[in-house]
Structures are given as C-alpha cells and as structure tokens.
C-alpha cells in the first residue's frame, strides 16, 4: 500500500505526495518534520521525493493526513459545523468562503446562520450550486427583501412610521429552493431570530425554511416583525450574530465560523438606513465575542470597501471572502486535522 502511494505521486511528476505520521509538539502545532524520521519511506525514496523540488515536508504530511481524513466514513470523523454570521450585503462574502471549502473538499455536516448568513446558508444547505449563489450576488439589490424598498416606501416609512413588509424575502427564497421544510434540506441547517417583545433568541430547526430565514434577516425598525407562534420576530443578529452554540447543539464537534466584521470608522451616514444598520451591527458584535470562544476556527474576511447596504457590491464581497478563505484554508485544515488526529490514526491502523 505504502509503495503504491509513493510511486503514484512520483508518477505525477512530484506535484504532490503523501506520508503517514505527524507528531504534536508541546505548543500544540504539527511537527511535520517528524515524518522524516518515520519508517514510511526509505531514505532513497525520500531523497527522490525531495529531488523533484515540488513538495516540502509540511506539504507531504498535510496532503496525506487530509486525504486520510476525507476518506474516513462521516460517522467516524469529528462532525464539522459551519457558522455564517450576519452582515447585510457584506454577508455575501460567505459565498466565496463556501466556494473555497467546496474546492478543498472541506466537510460541512451542519450549518447555523444568522440574517444574511441564514440566507446564504439555507440555499447552500438546500443543495444550490455555488455557481448559482454567485449569480444571485451578481443580481442582488436592496429591494430583494421587500417591495417597499423604493422612494415612495422610504417616504412612507419616514412620514407615517409604517414599517415595510419582508414577505418578498420569503417568496424569493421559496422561488430559489422551493417551499421546503428543514427536514427537506440536504445539509442540516438552523437559523436564529429574536422575539422583539421579550428579547429572547429563537432558534429554528424545523418547519418552513422560507419563514424562518425571513425572520432571521427581518431588520427591526425597518420591517414589520414576523408573527410566528404568538411571537414577533426580528433579525437574529441583534441576539446572536454568530450562533456557534447552535452548531454545537446540532452535534458539531469542530466549528468553523465565517464572521463578518465592520470597520465602523469608515462608515458614512448617507441615509437613515445606514445609521440604523450600523447601530444594529454594533449591538450584534458586542454580543458575539463570547460566542466565538467556542469556535475552533474563525475566518474574518476583510471587506473594508463594501458597506452594509452595498448590494451592488455583493459579488465583490464574495470575491474578498474567497481571497481570505484561500489565504487561510491550510490553517483551517491543520486545525481540523489536529483535532481529528485520534480518529485518523485509529482509522488508518485498522486498514
């Protein structure tokens, strides 16, 4: 088996290779060079491998361990939870993050999202191709959530204090993924809203997906609360903008969080919306830090040029999310592999 793996990678012109073993040093990092002292390959084999000039010891160990992890039956490896925070138009960065995870075969066993993270997460959980998510970003506008998002609607909001309806968001989602219940989704999914009367967090794990996601991104002060089981629900970002503990409750052993942060010093208040959105965003992030302590890996896309309501830049947000995820994907792999070392070794030794 070992010889076959070795010869296969050499035949690929040394573009990649694999070796078995990795040790953990006191600071908790992989010591990939411990592979060199193992008996996986002979000295001549290792010299031939390095003479190709295409791989390093780190790459050899990482590639092999990652391959072993992905080859494990899902019931034997740690369950991976993906948390997608809110963030308005900036939340389209999650699409780029999902794209990088997909290309690298990163396992996603469950998704928990809030606000825009719930929108993106629900569509991905329903099986929507990444290509389609990018296309939605290309066409995104502010009125995606409501028919009232126009000049007359804004005047009515300011003069009569009549809140907008967010029914269009539910209809949009049902159009894209069909009228689905949570049990119909291909990946287990949950999203978070808040009861505006009590301040309680409300977690959706069953029922109508469209209604749940609509409630999760239902901005208070802009949209009418969504009435559900005697509750009046608004955007979950106010109560739990990064629902890490929800992913844990779903059964996640290891959690990857894609977190949208805002550089408030760069915000310009061009409208009442931008003022209100920043106030809500600040409130959400004041509560999120405690939740993040329970996440194994946190990715924060750098989105300085994209504002909370800049839906015309949704695709740009996705691109920036992709770039940040690409820069950090090896670190995420290392974290998951280190966490999974016991199951990987047990699975390998049984083969």
Positions marked active-site: 115, 235
The dihedrals phi and psi of 150, each to the nearest 5 degrees, come to -150, 180
Q: Write b or e for each residue in 58-85: b if 16 or more Cβ atoms lie within 10 A of its Cβ, otherwise e.
A: ebbbbbbbbebbeebeeeebbbbbbbbb
Contact predicate 324/301, CB 8 Å: yes
Integer Cα distance of 116 and 125 in angstroms: 14
Total number of residues shown for the chain: 351
Integer Cα distance of 69 and 79 in angstroms: 12
Which residue is it, tokens 């506008």?
Answer: 141
- Residue of 189, 237, 186, 187 whose CA lies nearest to 216: 237
Report CA Rg, the chain: 23
Integer Cα distance of 218 and 166 in angstroms: 7
Q: Other CB atoms closer than 10 Å to residue 279's CB: what's the count?
A: 11
Beta-bridged to residue 208, according to DSSP, are 181
Kind and range of the H or E element at 298? strand 297-299
Helix (H, G, I), strand (E, B) or coil at 175: helix
Integer Cα distance of 177 and 272 in angstroms: 33
Integer Cα distance of 273 and 138 in angstroms: 22
Integer Cα distance of 351 and 349 in angstroms: 6
């Amino acid at each position: 088996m070992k010889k076959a793996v070795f010869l296969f990678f050499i035949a690929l012109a040394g573009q990649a290779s694999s070796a078995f073993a990795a040790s953990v040093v006191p600071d908790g990092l992989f010591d990939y060079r411990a592979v060199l002292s193992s008996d996986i390959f002979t000295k001549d084999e290792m010299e031939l491998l390095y003479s190709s000039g295409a791989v390093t010891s780190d790459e050899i160990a990482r590639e092999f361990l990652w391959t072993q992890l992905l080859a494990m039956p899902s019931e034997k490896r740690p369950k991976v939870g993906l948390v997608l925070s809110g963030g308005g138009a900036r939340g389209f960065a999650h699409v780029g993050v999902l794209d990088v995870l997909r290309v690298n075969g990163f396992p996603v066993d469950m998704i928990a999202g809030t606000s825009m993270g719930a929108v993106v997460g629900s569509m991905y959980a329903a099986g929507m191709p990444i290509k389609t998510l990018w296309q939605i970003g290309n066409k995104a506008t502010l009125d995606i959530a409501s028919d009232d998002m126009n000049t007359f609607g804004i005047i009515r909001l300011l003069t009569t204090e009549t809140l907008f309806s967010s029914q269009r968001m539910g209809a949009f989602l049902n159009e894209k993924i069909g009228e689905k219940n949570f049990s119909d989704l291909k990946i287990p999914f949950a999203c978070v809203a808040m009861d505006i009367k009590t301040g309680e967090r409300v977690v959706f794990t069953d029922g109508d997906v469209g209604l749940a996601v609509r409630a999760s991104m239902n901005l208070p002060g802009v949209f009418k609360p969504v009435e559900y089981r005697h509750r009046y629900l608004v955007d979950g970002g106010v109560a739990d903008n990064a629902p890490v503990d929800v992913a844990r409750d779903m059964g996640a052993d290891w959690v990857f969080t894609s977190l949208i942060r805002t550089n408030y010093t760069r915000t310009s208040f061009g409208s009442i919306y931008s003022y209100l959105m920043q106030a809500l965003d600040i409130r959400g992030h004041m509560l999120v830090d405690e939740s993040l302590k329970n996440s194994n890996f946190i990715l924060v896309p750098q989105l300085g040029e994209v504002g909370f309501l800049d839906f015309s830049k949704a695709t740009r947000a996705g691109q920036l999310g992709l770039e940040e995820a690409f820069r950090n994907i090896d670190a995420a792999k290392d974290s998951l592999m280190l966490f999974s070392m016991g199951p990987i070794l047990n699975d390998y030794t049984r083969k």
